[in-house]
């Protein structure tokens, strides 16, 4: 009993002491914040002199005014806490924003009570000793910076600077942990000084926002708070048209980011796992956060604010497709794809289906409509996204949409003019009771209720019970600019209820007063009506599929593919043995865990589970069980000419995505084993951010692990990895004898094209830094042999043979993956030995943009010409005056070559 009471007393004392210490630091923070002073936490053991020792200020802050004073407050554990007056200032003009915070501006947090904290960090002299020291601290006492603040900006150099935003309570927690030696960063960086500062200017945005987690700061609590709701700060106000431009201040640092995301390794269970967790940092593609249109109707501002919290931005969801374009400047108006056959008139519009649901409650309405249309379209051919109201005017969706579905009875803020422009440019529209109808044909009121029940006759379908509006069309009022045909009418009144209109420019619109997108439950006035609607529900879907088929869309049902186990395939038995030996110490009962997936290494097929689940991927390791019917490993080996890359293969016929498969293996596998994960089909392929990556059979789908010394030529220019990979795919085809004139091209920054109109593939790169080595995980996909819904490489070869009287053999996915990996290793070696210029000579042979004219609106509509890439892989343009600029895309995900931003003047 006395022992129990003793433990209780000790626990109560520790709790009291912790709270007392926390209140002490919180009081200091509050006092300095109110007095406009800087509170500085300083490590006295670091080699970089402190302020009081050197009598000059940190290189990361502006030079202080005369008359500054410093007062010692606490000195403990070789740490100091001092107060400096006046508050130190950091000019972020030459800093770089973190991925999660690219929409932030200093004005957003003015008068919010939040504090800006500057962290001065250095790499430990002995990283191993540092990691051991960190591991000796109890897990419950460790405090991570990114759990208690939002990283806003970074600056390279010594010391390495990081600015974070946090509440006073959170700063007190960070300060207490710093003094006690329990404060850590995820990047194997040791904090030498931490101080509250004032910030001015805005950092440059060199990388696109691409994160599934954002941070929320609560001034009333010091507990970490993370959500998956979207972006950490509200968007800046103001309208942004398709050709608008942001200006980002000039900067001089190498465009390289050490991000603060947690690694995707396994839990900290041994030293290697702990290093993995501390050191994972991502380097992602170049794009910045776009502004959204300002809400123009005061009475609907509240609804819009609710939508911002609920909706996933279209900007982060535009499809990243393997077989067509999600971002290219499209010229051809028509979506001419038919369910059978191919013609020389190639489809160029991306397979994006956009649904507009108005301004109020649109997030909920979109989810309902999406569920309906997913049952009508072939899900392996089209991606369905929400076209938000404030994105109608701010994103270049018109050139990148195959079908627009309008499910709203009201159109605000001149959205109708954008929809009409899309129609006139050859777009396809499916309109359910929207005011857009009035631009083509007049309506008359035939019912009194806003929504009613009618008996519909549509083509061969007779007397179908449906939900309808109170209107019918008047055929005699059709506008002379379009042709009209009635395809459905009210069985009772004989009035037209569904019509098709076509423009002379190729646009087609199906206008319906029958609300086929609505579920029977939405009009369940009584049990009898609900029963009638339910009985006709299957016919409702048949009519919707017929409508979409008449517009040229594929509507056949696609059976979901079951996930399959993976097999280990190695180019030599020694490679297999070395690989298995290298991971043996990481396995627990054959399992190797990482953040997104667990790999289950098995010796025999007899050990396979009956059903493969998304979170566990079984991998057969024995050669006798590694024969794969759907993957020609012999063809792969015959075409692979590498020393390292692609020597070890993890292949699965059907997996969710290849991207997370290698995450738990990066730091265990020997350097001479270049791992590659290959899938015959992906069920949940992901592109940039939340983008959908369509991944049907016939596409080359792989993720590759590439090691790059951080201090090498490529290590200092990591943006070039995506350029090298996309160039390697083109070289895989054009380097074969006879194939040199196959018209494959490169679109900056990471897309593979046929000619200049149809996207065939793309690249995404995540990078992790450990002990001076960049571990790049390269995801790549390109369409080899799937002709639907657009075109593939073999279609291009067939067309080339017909036009030139040649008989070039068609390609296989195994062949082109091996050739692409071979070309990738060769181009990396070229870059590392001969530098940027040697690689660019090859790159420029294929790229699309030389001489392209671009208008920079925010630079006074400055007309510039694309001249190439700068030394870091960004787009270089030149004005008529000879003035040279480096530019990057804004945040629109449709067209990376539109809305370009100047970030550096040459």
Alpha carbon distance 557, 375 (integer Å)? 8
pLDDT tens-digit map of 290-347: 333 333 443 444 444 444 433 333 333 333 333 333 333 333 333 333 333 333 344 4
Would strands 150-155 and 160-166 be described as parallel, antiparallel, or unpaired? antiparallel
Instruction: Find how far residue 770's CA is from the centre of its chain.
Output: 24
Lowest mean pLDDT among 495-509, 770-784, 877-891: 877-891
Model confidence band, residue 524 (pLDDT cutoffs 50, 70, 90): low
Tally Cβ neighbours within 10 Å of residue 724.
Answer: 26
- Residues in CB range of 406: below 8 A, 6 or more apart: 356, 419, 429, 430, 431, 432, 434, 436
What confidence score (pLDDT) does residue 45 get?
65
**pLDDT tens by residue, 265-290:** 333 334 333 333 333 333 333 322 33
Least confident residue range of 241-255, 332-346, 539-553, 736-750:
241-255
Instruction: Decide if 347 contacts 790 (C-beta within 8 A).
Output: yes
Query: Which band of pLDDT confidence, cut at 50, 70 and 90, is reported for residue 248?
Result: very low
Q: Please, what's the b/e burial string for 662-700 (b: 16 or more CB within 10 A of its CB; e: otherwise)?
A: bbbbbbbbeeebbbbbbbbbbbebbbbbbbbbbbbbbbb
Name, in order, each residue with C-beta under 8 angstroms of 506's C-beta and a sequence gap of 6 or more.
Answer: 333, 334, 426
Tokens at residue 743, please?
């018209």
What sign results for the dihedral spanned by CA atoms 125, 129, 131, 134? negative
Between residues 869 and 758, the one the model is more confident about = 869
Q: Which residue has the tokens 């207490």?
A: 176
Q: Is 183 exposed, middle or buried (0-12, 13-18, 19+ CB in 10 A)?
A: buried
Bridge pairing between strands 143-144 and 183-184: parallel
Q: Are 545 and 552 in contact (CB under 8 A)?
A: no
- Tell me the three state secondary structure of residue 19: helix
Q: Which residues pair with 761 in a beta bridge?
A: 752, 782
> So what's the pLDDT on residue 685?
59
Please state, in angstroms and as integers, the Cα–Cα distance from residue 855 to each residue in 380, 750, 813, 862, 876, following that order: 37, 22, 40, 6, 13
The stretch 492-509 carries a mean pLDDT of 92
More confident residue, 637 or 254: 637
As to burial, measured by CB atoms within 10 angstroms (0-12 exposed, 13-18 middle, 19+ buried), residue 414 is: exposed
Residue 626 has pLDDT above 60, yes or no: no
Q: How many Å is the Cα radius of gyration of the chain?
A: 30
Cβ-based neighbour number of residue 449 at 10 Å: 10
- For residue 259, the model assigns a pLDDT of 34
Name residue, tokens 């100047």: 902
Task: List CB contacts of 525: < 8 A, sequence separation 6 or more.
Answer: none
Res. 46: pLDDT tops 70 = no
**CB contact set of 52 (below 8 Å; sequence gap of 6+):** 70, 82
What letter does residue 263 receive in the DSSP assignment? P
Within 10 Å of residue 550's Cβ, how many Cβ atoms? 15
Packing angle of the helix pair 527-535, 537-550 (nearest 10 deg): 50
How high is the pLDDT of residue 356? 94
Contacts of residue 628, defined as CB under 8 A and 6 or more positions apart, other chains included, come to 567, 569, 651, 653
Span 395-434, pLDDT tens digits: 878 887 889 999 999 998 889 999 999 999 999 999 999 9
Which pLDDT score is estimated for 474? 93
What pLDDT is attached to residue 258?
32
Beta bridge partners of 878: 865, 884
> Alpha-carbon distance 43 to 193, whole Å?
6
The pLDDT tens digits for 85-128 are 888 888 887 787 775 665 676 766 666 778 899 998 887 777 66
- Between residues 153 and 818, which one has the greater pLDDT? 818
Q: How confident is the model at residue 520 (pLDDT cuts 50, 70, 90)?
A: confident
- The whole-angstrom separation of Cα 204 and Cα 156 is 13
């Amino acid at each position: 009993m006395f022992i129990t009471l003793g433990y209780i007393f000790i626990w109560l004392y520790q709790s009291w002491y912790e709270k007392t210490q926390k209140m002490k630091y919180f009081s200091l923070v509050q006092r300095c914040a109110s007095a406009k002073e800087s509170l500085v936490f300083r490590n006295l053991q670091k080699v970089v002199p402190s302020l009081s020792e050197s009598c000059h200020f940190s290189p990361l802050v502006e030079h202080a005014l005369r008359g500054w004073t410093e007062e010692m407050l606490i000195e403990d554990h070789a740490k100091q806490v001092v107060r400096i007056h006046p508050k130190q200032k950091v000019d972020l003009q030459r800093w770089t924003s973190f991925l999660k915070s690219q929409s932030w501006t200093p004005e957003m947090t003015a008068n919010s009570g939040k504090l800006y904290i500057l962290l001065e960090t250095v790499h430990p002299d002995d990283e191993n000793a540092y990691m051991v020291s960190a591991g000796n601290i109890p897990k419950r006492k460790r405090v991570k910076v990114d759990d208690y603040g939002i990283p806003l900006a970074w600056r390279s150099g010594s010391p390495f600077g990081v600015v974070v935003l946090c509440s006073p309570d959170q700063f007190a927690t960070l300060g207490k942990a710093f003094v006690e030696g329990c404060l850590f960063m995820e990047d194997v960086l040791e904090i030498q000084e931490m101080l509250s500062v004032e910030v001015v200017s805005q950092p440059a945005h060199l990388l696109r926002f691409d994160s599934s987690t954002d941070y929320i700061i609560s001034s009333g609590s010091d507990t970490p708070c993370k959500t998956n709701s979207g972006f950490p700060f509200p968007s800046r106000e103001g309208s942004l048209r398709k050709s608008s431009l942001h200006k980002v201040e000039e900067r001089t640092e190498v465009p390289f980011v050490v991000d603060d995301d947690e690694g995707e390794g396994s839990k900290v269970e041994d030293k290697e796992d702990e290093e993995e967790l501390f050191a994972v940092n991502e380097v992602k593609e170049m794009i910045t956060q776009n502004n959204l249109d300002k809400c123009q109707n005061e009475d609907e501002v509240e609804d819009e604010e609710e939508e911002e919290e609920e909706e996933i931005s279209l900007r982060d969801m535009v499809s990243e497709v393997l077989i067509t374009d999600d971002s290219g400047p499209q010229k051809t108006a028509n979506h001419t794809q038919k369910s059978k056959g191919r013609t020389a008139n190639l489809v160029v519009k991306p397979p994006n289906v956009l649904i507009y649901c108005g301004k109020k409650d649109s997030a909920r309405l979109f989810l309902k409509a999406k569920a309906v249309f997913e049952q009508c379209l072939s899900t392996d051919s089209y991606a369905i996204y929400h076209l938000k109201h404030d994105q109608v005017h701010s994103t270049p969706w018109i050139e990148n949409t195959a079908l627009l579905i309008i499910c709203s009875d009201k159109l605000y803020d001149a959205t109708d003019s954008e929809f009409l422009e899309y129609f006139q440019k050859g777009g396809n529209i499916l309109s359910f009771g929207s005011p857009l109808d009035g631009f083509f044909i007049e309506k008359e009121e035939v019912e009194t209720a806003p929504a009613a029940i009618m008996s519909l006759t549509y083509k061969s379908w007779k007397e179908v019970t449906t939900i309808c509006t109170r209107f019918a069309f008047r055929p005699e009022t059709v506008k002379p600019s379009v042709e009209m045909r009635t395809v459905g009418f009210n069985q009772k009144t004989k009035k037209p209820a569904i019509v098709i209109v076509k423009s002379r420019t190729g646009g087609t619109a199906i206008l319906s007063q029958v609300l086929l997108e609505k579920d029977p439950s939405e009009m369940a006035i009584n049990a009898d009506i609900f029963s009638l609607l339910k009985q006709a529900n299957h016919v409702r879907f048949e009519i919707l599929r017929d409508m979409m088929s008449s517009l040229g869309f594929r509507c056949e049902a696609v059976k979901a593919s079951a996930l399959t186990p993976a097999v280990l395939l190695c180019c030599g038995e020694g490679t297999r043995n070395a690989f298995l030996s290298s991971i043996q110490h990481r396995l627990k009962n054959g399992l190797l865990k990482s953040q997104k997936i667990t790999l289950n290494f098995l010796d025999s097929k007899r050990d396979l589970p009956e059903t493969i689940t998304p979170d566990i991927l079984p991998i057969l390791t024995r050669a006798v069980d590694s024969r794969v019917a759907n993957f020609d490993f012999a063809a792969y080996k015959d075409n692979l000419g590498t020393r390292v890359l692609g020597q070890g293969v993890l292949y699965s016929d059907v997996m969710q995505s290849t991207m997370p498969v290698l995450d738990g293996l990066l730091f265990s596998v020997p350097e001479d084993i270049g791992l590659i994960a290959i899938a015959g089909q992906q069920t949940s392929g992901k592109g940039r951010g939340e983008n959908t990556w369509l991944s049907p059979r016939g596409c080359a789908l792989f993720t590759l692990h590439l090691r790059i010394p951080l201090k090498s030529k490529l290590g200092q220019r990591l943006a070039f990895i995506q350029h090298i990979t996309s160039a390697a795919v083109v070289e895989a085809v054009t380097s074969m004898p006879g194939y040199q004139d196959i018209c494959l091209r490169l679109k900056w920054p990471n897309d593979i094209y046929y000619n200049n109109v149809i996207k065939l593939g793309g690249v995404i790169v995540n990078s992790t830094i450990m002990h001076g080595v960049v571990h790049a995980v390269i995801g790549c996909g390109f369409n080899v042999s799937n002709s639907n819904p657009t075109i593939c490489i073999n279609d291009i070869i067939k067309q080339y043979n017909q036009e030139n009287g040649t008989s070039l053999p068609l390609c296989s996915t195994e062949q082109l993956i091996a050739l692409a990996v071979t070309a990738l290793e060769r181009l990396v070696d070229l870059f590392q030995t001969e530098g940027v210029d040697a690689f660019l000579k090859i790159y420029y042979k294929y790229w699309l943009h030389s001489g392209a004219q671009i208008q920079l609106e925010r630079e006074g509509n400055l007309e510039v010409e694309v001249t190439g890439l700068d030394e870091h892989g960004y787009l270089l343009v030149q004005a008529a005056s000879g003035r040279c600029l480096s530019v990057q895309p804004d945040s629109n995900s449709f067209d990376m070559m539109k809305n370009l931003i100047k970030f550096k003047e040459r």
